[in-house]
Amino acid sequence: MRPRSLSRSIRRTFSSSLTALALVGGAAVLAPADAVAAGKLQPDLAVDLMMTDVLNPAEGETFNAEIDVRNYGAGGSDPVSVTVSVPSGLRTTSPSGTDSGWACAVASTTSYTCAYPELAAGGRAIRLHVPFVVAGATPGSAVPITTTIVPQRREANTDNNTGSVTVAISGTCVIRGTVWYDLDRDGQREEGEPAIAGGPDGVLNVRLGVRQGRAVGGGSAAVNPDGTWSITARTELLYSVWLEASGAYGRTVADVGDDATDSDMVTSYQFEPTLLVASGEFEAVHGGEYVVDAGLVPQS
């Protein structure tokens, strides 16, 4: 016969084990020990993602920080409260409406406070959009924005309550070049080799290509009679120069010899009905000047 004291011990252990189980997504999982001790399952709120809707805003422009908050815990949360910093160089503006479920207010010159209803275990809040105006930030600088969750109750983990993103402040740069006729096809612009002017029989257009999503930039230029062109462009992003010319031309060899007099067009994309060529990518920063030349040869 089993002693009665041992039987009572087994029942107590079995009962305690049941209280440590929670049903999440249809599967039983073991809850954290401190949650069991507290008699309830705990939330785990996290700043899941931060980004900006514009990569390189400029002085006076408005952009949004986009913030995802999620509850990774096994228990529901109380109403969610977050603080979003407003660093030097940015200023607050009227926060967005409450149609997304978030309610935001300007707490001070250095922060917003935003609130959201309770999140069930595994729940994700609708994305939060917080507006900023660039005001006095140094062009070319990277300005950090931080979001911090203010816990309303004990959480299983607080290490993920903060997230951040940096936004690059756009300035201006000059991108220029010369288009010439490479008579000897050696990839070097030499004395006596003529310029190729703009027009239907020459260069149709020069433009800046931007590969990065959410970036603001680009521009285009006509080519002058002496083959030169110039664009003043926004910065803090990657550019390539695209040139479209008459189909009578082809691209000469690139990056051969002296960089000051070579051709920088490295890729041909089409030859008919017009020629389309492009340079490699380069990083444009505030105050920079970039020379991108193009040597063309007769189409063979």
At residue 153, the pLDDT reads 86
Residue 103 has pLDDT above 50, yes or no: yes
- Lowest mean pLDDT, pick from 4-18, 129-143, 155-169, 194-208: 4-18
Residue 37 has pLDDT above 90, yes or no: no
The overall average pLDDT reported for the chain is: 88
253-263 residue pLDDT tens: 999 999 999 99
At residue 14, the pLDDT reads 35
Question: Domain extents for the chain?
Answer: 42-168, 172-298
At residue 97, the pLDDT reads 57
Residue 167 has pLDDT above 80, yes or no: yes
CATH topology match: 42-168 vs 172-298: yes
- Please give the average per-residue pLDDT across 146-172, as a whole number: 95
Which has more pLDDT, 93 or 28?
Answer: 93
Which has more pLDDT, 161 or 18?
Answer: 161
174-216 residue pLDDT tens: 999 999 999 999 999 999 999 999 999 999 999 999 988 899 9
For 98, phi and psi rounded to 5 degrees?
A: -100, 10
pTM as predicted? 0.81
Environment class of 73 (CB within 10 Å of its CB; exposed 0-12, middle 13-18, buried 19+): buried
CATH for 172-298 is 2.60.40.10
Prior bond of 225 cis (ω within 30°):
no
> What pLDDT band is residue 11 in, cutting at 50, 70 and 90?
very low
Determine how many CB atoms are found less than 10 A away from the CB of residue 212.
Answer: 14
Residue 147 has pLDDT above 60, yes or no: yes
Percent of the chain with pLDDT over 70: 85
- Lowest mean pLDDT, pick from 24-28, 91-95, 127-131, 151-155: 24-28
At residue 118, the pLDDT reads 95
Residue 48 has pLDDT above 80, yes or no: yes
Instruction: For domain 42-168, give the CATH superfamily.
Output: ntegrin, alpha v. Chain A, domain 3 (2.60.40.1510)
- Please give the average per-residue pLDDT across 157-185, as a whole number: 97
- Lowest mean pLDDT, pick from 29-43, 89-103, 114-128: 29-43
- Helix and strand element counts for the chain (H, E): 2, 22
> What pLDDT band is residue 22 in, cutting at 50, 70 and 90?
very low
- Please give the average per-residue pLDDT across 259-282, as a whole number: 96
SS3 18: helix
| Whole-number Å distance between alpha carbons of 249 and 295 | 10
